[in-house]
């Protein structure tokens, strides 16, 4: 069964606008972590933000924030004030303790920022 679902088609975003990338997850593990990564065309996977299942506050890192809705099993990434360099694939991933702490990734969201 798919643990991470990212179903949005490729997105075009105007520079300086905000964009929200959807991610839903499936787990019965009470202790888990959610990650977002950015993968530009060069291939490297760049860590953006982390949210723990017990964290009370939504995680924020600079222009990145995670809209964590635990009851809905949703962990959407919000990028504020988009920049041209934000054009990339974005992956949502989950770590479960029952899964030997492996990261399970979604299929990714393609974002293109246009001037």
Partner 1 sequence: DAGVTQSPTHLIKTRGQHVTLRCSPISGHKSVSWYQQVLGQGPQFIFQYYEKEERGRGNFPDRFSARQFPNYSSELNVNALLLGDSALYLCASSFRGFYTEAFFGQGTRLTVV
Phi and psi for 44 in degrees, rounded to 5?
-65, 150
- Of 26-45, binders to partner 1 (CB under 8 A) are 33, 35, 37, 42-45
**Is 50 among the residues that bind partner 1 (CB under 8 A)?**
yes
Strand blocks (E) in 9-84: 11-14, 19-21, 24-25, 32-39, 46-52, 60-61, 64-69, 74-79
Between strands 109-114 and 11-14, the pairing is: parallel
Min CB(106)–partner 1 separation in Å: 5
**Is 7 among the residues that bind partner 1 (CB under 8 A)?**
no
Min CB(79)–partner 1 separation in Å: 19
Q: Please tell me the distance from the alpha carbon of residue 102 to that of residue 114, in angstroms, as a whole number.
A: 35
Q: Which is nearer to partner 1, 40 or 81 (CB)?
A: 40
Give the footprint of partner 1 on this chain (CB under 8 A). 4, 33, 35, 37, 42-47, 50, 52, 91, 93, 95, 97, 99-108
């Amino acid at each position: 069964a798919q643990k991470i679902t990212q179903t949005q088609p490729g997105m075009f975003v105007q520079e300086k606008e905000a964009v929200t990338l959807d991610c839903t997850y499936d787990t019965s593990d009470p202790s888990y972590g959610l990650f977002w990564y950015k993968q530009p065309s060069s291939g490297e996977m760049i860590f953006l933000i982390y949210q723990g299942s017990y964290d009370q506050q939504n995680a924020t890192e600079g222009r990145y924030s995670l809209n964590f809705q635990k009851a809905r099993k949703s962990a959407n990434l919000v990028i504020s004030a988009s920049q041209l360099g934000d054009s990339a694939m974005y992956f949502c991933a989950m770590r479960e303790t029952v899964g030997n702490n492996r990261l399970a990734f979604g299929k990714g969201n393609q974002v293109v920022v246009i001037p």
